[in-house]
Amino acid sequence: METGATDTVSRRNPEGLFLRWDGREVQWAWMFRDSDTQETEFSFGHREVSKISMLPEVLRALKGRFSAVNEVVYAQRFARTTIVPAIVLKDDSEAAEKWFKLHHAPTKDVDLRILHLESIEGEPVFVEGLDGDWEASVKKSFPQAQGVIQSAVLMETAISISRQSDVWVVVIDAGKRGADFAASSNGNAVWSGHSLKGDPESILYSVVNAMHRNGIEQDGVAVRFAGAIGQDLNAVFKRFFSDTACLGLSEWEGLKLLSK
């Protein structure tokens, strides 16, 4: 199933393909430039994967469909992620692994993705546990693909907004199966997290719990949703926060942020 503009018109010049995986569904955004208007546009699609053995087949189909694309970026949704100040890690991958294990206590060894946001105050380092099936499937079809961390992408957006505000800015990208969170204060990264539940109450609880741990009151928080949200989620958050808004009108805004 695909939404958005069709991608068969010859005057559309491919610029990038952006992929996400939530454990059950592959989502993609194809970015192209209209050769007449020179405007950048997106076409979106998604495919349910009922058996993990189907995942390589889905990626191969995307490879055949978008073979002309050079830039490929991919990420996981709702992944276990730890954020640590760079000064603590000192470019030590073993230290990053120890912090990840401390925060998440994985029952088995997992490969990690480490991303250092050097351009941000405090230089936060994101450490993410990887889904091996997703990593292997993407790399087999798109060897040139660049892996990014979804919560780090959200954090960059939160930081950009918080630099113009004196409140805690929380950016939420919610889906049917969960949500990713990032919070910033005065241009600093203060919290990132995820929920493996997609119901409004669980998503709200994650935010309120993090807020209370950091001693933040309700009137000191601005909530920004990365995309259109359901009325239920909107109504639940508005009971607690007076400053809420959507970043963009599409449900795919969180996926589009991978292109930034």
114-169 pLDDT tens trace = 999 988 887 899 999 999 999 999 999 999 999 999 999 999 999 999 999 899 99
Considering the entire predicted model, what is its pTM? 0.91
* Average predicted confidence (pLDDT) for the chain: 90
The 10 Å Cβ neighbour count of residue 105 is 8
Q: In this structure, which topology does domain 81-132+147-259 adopt according to CATH? A: Nucleotidyltransferase; domain 5 (3.30.420)
Instruction: Locate 117 and state its tokens.
Output: 């946001």
Identify whether the C-beta of residue 192 lies closer than 8 Å to the C-beta of residue 154. Answer: yes
For residue 246, name the pLDDT band (cuts at 50, 70, 90): very high
Spell out the domain ranges in the chain. 2-76, 81-132+147-259
Considering the domain 2-76 in this protein, what is its CATH number? 3.30.420
For 6-21, the pLDDT digits (tens) are 444 445 677 899 999 9
Distance of alpha carbon 105 from alpha carbon 83, whole angstroms: 15
Distance of alpha carbon 232 from alpha carbon 164, whole angstroms: 29
Identify whether the C-beta of residue 49 lies closer than 8 Å to the C-beta of residue 55. Answer: yes
Compute the CA torsion angle 26, 30, 31, 32 (nearest 10 deg): 180
State residue 163's pLDDT score.
Answer: 93
**Residue 161's closest CA among 169, 153, 150?**
169
State residue 12's pLDDT score.
Answer: 66
Dihedral sign from CA coordinates of 126, 116, 255, 232: positive
State residue 16's pLDDT score.
Answer: 94
Identify whether the C-beta of residue 194 lies closer than 8 Å to the C-beta of residue 178. Answer: yes
